[in-house]
C-alpha cells in the first residue's frame, strides 16, 4: 500500500448480499472499487451484528486490493490478532471502544497492519492529537455507526477540515464513513477527505446478477467530486 491522497472509493459490503460476499467483492473491484470496506459489528458497541474474523478470512481471497476492516466492537484488543490473521490490510478501531486506545493502536502496528482510528460523530477531532504518530488512517464517522443507509451528519464537515489541518504532511488517510452520496462526496473531498466509504450509494439498483450498476454508481461518485 503506497500512500496517496488521491480520492479512493471504498464500497462497504454491509450493503452486499451476505450469501454472496465472494462474488460481490470480485464484482466491486471489476466495477472500479479502490478499496473494499468490511464492517464488523458486535451488537454491543453498536446495536447491530454482522460477522467476525472467520468471515473476513473467507472474503480475503476474493479481494485483490485493499481489505479495509472497520471494527465496531468493544473490547477490540482480544480480537486484533484474529483480524490480522484473517488478512486485513487496514484495521480500524473506535476511539470510544476502550480505555486504552494507545495500547490498541500499538498492537495493530505490531501485527504489521495499517492502523486506523475511527471516531464517532460526537467525538471531537482533538482526541487524535496524541495519536497522530501512531496511525495511518482516521475514519470520520458521518453517521452513528451500526447501520447503512443513514443520513450524513453535516456538522462533521468542519471536523474533517480540522483533521486535515492537524494531519498536515503526515501520510494519514482521512476516510469518511456514512451517508456518502453524490451530494455529500464533493463536500467531504473539498474538506480534505481521500477515502470515501459508500454502502447504499454503490449498491443502489445493483446485484451480483447486475454488477454494472455498481460501476455506474462508483463512476457517479467520482464524477461528483470532479474526478
Ligand atoms: C456504518 C458503517 C458504514 C456503512 C455505510 O456503521 O460503518 O460503513 O456501511 O453505509 P452507507 O454508505 O449506506 O451510509
Ligand atoms: Zn464502516
Burial of 114 (0-12, 13-18, 19+ CB in 10 A): buried
Residues 6+ apart with CB under 8 A from 153: 121, 142, 143, 144, 178, 179
The answer to whether the beta carbons of residues 176 and 165 sit under 8 Å apart is no
- The answer to whether the CB of 16 is under 6 A from ligand 1 is no
Q: What percent of the chain has pLDDT over 70?
A: 100
User: Does residue 9 register a pLDDT over 90?
Assistant: yes
User: What predicted TM-score, i.e. pTM, was given to this entire model?
Assistant: 0.98
Decide whether any atom of ligand 1 lies within 6 Å of the 94 Cβ: no
Q: Among the atoms of ligand 1, which is closest to the Cα of residue 179?
A: 14
Mean pLDDT along residues 58-73: 98
**Mean pLDDT along residues 51-60:** 98
Bridge partners, residue 175, by sequence: 139, 195
Average pLDDT over residues 6-25: 98
User: Rounded to whole angstroms, what are the CA distances from 77 to 40, 44, 90, 99?
Assistant: 14, 15, 15, 11
> For the chain, what is the mean pLDDT?
98
- Nearest atom in ligand 1 to the alpha carbon of residue 144 is 6
- Could you report the per-residue pLDDT of 185-214, keeping only the tens digit for each? 999 999 999 999 999 999 999 999 999 999
194 counts as catalytic: no
* Homologous superfamily of domain range 8-224: Aldolase class I (3.20.20.70)
Ligand 1 atom with the shortest distance to the CA of 199: 12
What are the boundaries of each domain within the chain? Answer: 8-224
pLDDT at residue 19, rounded to an integer: 98
Question: Dihedral of CA 164/166/172/178: which sign?
Answer: negative
The answer to whether the peptide bond before residue 75 is cis (omega within 30 degrees of 0) is yes
Given the residues 42, 89, 136, 177, the one annotated as active site = 177
Per-residue model confidence (pLDDT) at position 1:
87
Task: For ligand 1, say whether the CB of 149 is within 6 Å of any of its atoms.
Answer: yes
**Number of Cβ atoms within 10 Å of the Cβ of 43:** 12
How far is Cα 106 from Cα 158, in angstroms, rounded to an integer?
Answer: 28
Q: CA nearest 35: which of 52, 56, 19, 12?
A: 12
Cα–Cα dist 153/147, whole Å: 14
Amino acid at each position: 500500500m503506497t500512500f496517496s491522497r488521491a480520492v479512493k472509493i471504498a464500497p462497504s459490503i454491509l450493503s452486499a448480499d451476505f450469501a454472496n460476499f465472494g462474488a460481490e467483492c470480485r464484482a466491486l473491484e471489476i466495477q472500479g472499487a479502490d478499496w473494499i470496506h468490511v464492517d464488523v459489528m458486535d451488537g454491543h458497541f453498536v446495536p447491530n451484528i454482522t460477522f467476525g474474523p472467520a468471515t473476513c478470512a473467507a472474503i480475503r481471497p476474493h479481494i485483490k486490493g485493499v481489505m479495509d476492516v472497520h471494527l465496531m466492537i468493544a473490547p477490540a484488543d482480544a480480537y486484533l490478532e484474529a483480524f490480522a490473521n484473517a488478512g486485513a490490510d487496514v484495521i480500524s478501531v473506535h476511539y470510544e471502544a476502550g480505555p486504552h486506545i494507545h495500547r490498541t493502536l500499538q498492537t495493530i502496528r505490531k501485527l504489521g497492519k495499517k492502523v486506523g482510528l475511527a471516531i464517532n460523530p460526537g467525538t471531537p477531532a482533538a482526541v487524535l492529537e496524541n495519536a497522530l504518530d501512531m496511525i495511518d488512517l482516521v475514519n470520520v464517522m458521518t453517521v452513528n455507526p451500526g447501520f447503512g443507509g443513514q443520513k450524513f451528519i453535516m456538522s462533521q464537515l468542519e471536523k474533517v477540515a480540522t483533521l486535515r489541518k492537524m494531519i498536515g504532511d503526515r501520510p494519514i488517510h482521512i476516510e469518511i464513513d456514512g451517508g456518502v452520496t453524490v451530494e455529500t462526496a464533493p463536500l467531504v473531498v473539498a474538506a480534505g477527505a481521500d477515502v470515501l466509504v459508500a454502502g447504499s450509494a454503490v449498491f443502489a439498483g445493483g446485484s451480483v446478477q447486475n454488477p454494472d450498476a455498481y460501476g455506474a454508481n462508483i463512476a457517479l461518485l467520482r464524477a461528483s467530486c470532479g474526478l
